[in-house]
Structure 1
Amino acid sequence: MRIALYQPDIAGNVGTILRTAACFGVGVDIIEPCGFAFSDRALKRAGMDYAQMAPPIRHDDWHAFLQARQERLVLLTTSGDISLPEMDFQKEDILLFGSESAGAPDFVHQAAARQVRIPLLSQFRSLNIAVSAGIALAEALRQTKGFVHEVR
């Protein structure tokens, strides 16, 4: 199981996701460009020293990411056709998240084997990406009995 972030915008969210991934032994892929300097203080503050235990793998762009990763892509998106509780996760899935400001472009949607949404009350649009990543990761690990392994 891995988390991939497509062109993330907010350093604090990435730091929080890195911390979460480190705590659960999950690797993280960052698909550049990011909307912030990767040395950003907010990234370090949110990730604390946990992020150093599971450094992300950075990819120059979408094509470099696809060349490096062959696992099934599961895109978490507000327009997903599969509700999170109905999704059947596999141990090698990559949980993919679009940028905070723009989401994921059409070509990322098309590359994903599954498009999953976290069900919310109808009056709400979306959750913070770090919260979404934590919710989706917890469900995926629960289903695959993936708690806790060495980071790959």
Structure 2
Amino acid sequence: MNVVLLEPEIPANTGNIGRTCVATGTTLHLIKPLGFSLDEKALKRAGLDYWQHLDVRVYENFNDFLEKNPDASKKLYLATTKGHHVYSDAQYDEDAYLMFGKESAGIPEEILLDYEDQCFRIPMNPQIRSLNLSNSVAIVLYEALRQNHFASMQLNGELHRLHWNHPNE
């Protein structure tokens, strides 16, 4: 699975998204310009000690991303409040590219128009402009992973029973 951030502006959001990508085995693609440096403290703080394990790739612009990932255009899903489809109705391939725009403006319309049938939205109340970027990525990414049966992810936890006295005993 792939998460693509087009011109992200807020380091804490990208750090949180990076941590989610490590937890899910997802590649993070960052398309410049970035609103921060990749060695910025806020980015590393949000990503905790997971950032070193992240598969992150950086591109000069959207065309550079497409040139270096030729299969992406057929497997690209663009998150936008202008999308005609709901994110949960899309059928995600296990190597889908989930694209999100910058926090202040989203994905430019010239890109959206080229991929109109691949645009989707997260439903929300009409008076709300948008959700936080890292929350949006988590919502859509986990739906895509769910559809692919959480391939290669740990699915079972284990409770460790401690012996303690219950107040009613």
Equivalent in the alignment of 2:166: none
- Equivalent residue in structure 2 for 1:140, among 141, 144, 150: 144
1:28-67 counterparts in 2 under 5 A?
28-67=28-67
| Paired positions, count | 149
Moved more, 127-136 or 110-119: 110-119
What displacement does 1:15 show?
A: 0.4
Query: What displacement does 1:122 show?
Result: 2.7
State which drifts further: 53-62 or 127-136.
Answer: 53-62
Distance apart, 1:111 and its partner CA: 3.9
Quote the residue 1:100 is aligned against. 103
Q: Comparing both chains, which one has the higher relative contact order based on Cα–Cα distances under 8 Å and sequence gaps of 6 or more?
A: 1
Partner of 1:128: 132
Q: Which amino acid aligns with 1:83?
A: V
**Aligned: 1:81 with 2:81:** no
Contact 1:75 1:114 in 2 (8 A): yes
Residue segments in structure 1 that go unaligned for 5+ positions in a row: none
Asked if 1:109 is matched to 2:112, the reply is yes
For 1:119, the equivalent position in structure 2 comes to 123
Q: TM-score, normalised by structure 1?
A: 0.92
Distance in 1, matches of 2:51 and 2:79, equals: 22
Q: Give the stretch that moved more between structures: 139-148 or 91-100.
A: 139-148
Greater alpha carbon shift after TM alignment, 104-113 vs 135-144: 104-113
- Decide which of 91, 96, 104 is 2:94's aligned counterpart: 91
TM-score, with structure 2 as normaliser? 0.83
Greater Rg over alpha carbons, structure: 2
Extract unaligned runs of 5+ from structure 2.
154-169
Residue 3 of structure 1 deviates from its aligned partner by 0.1
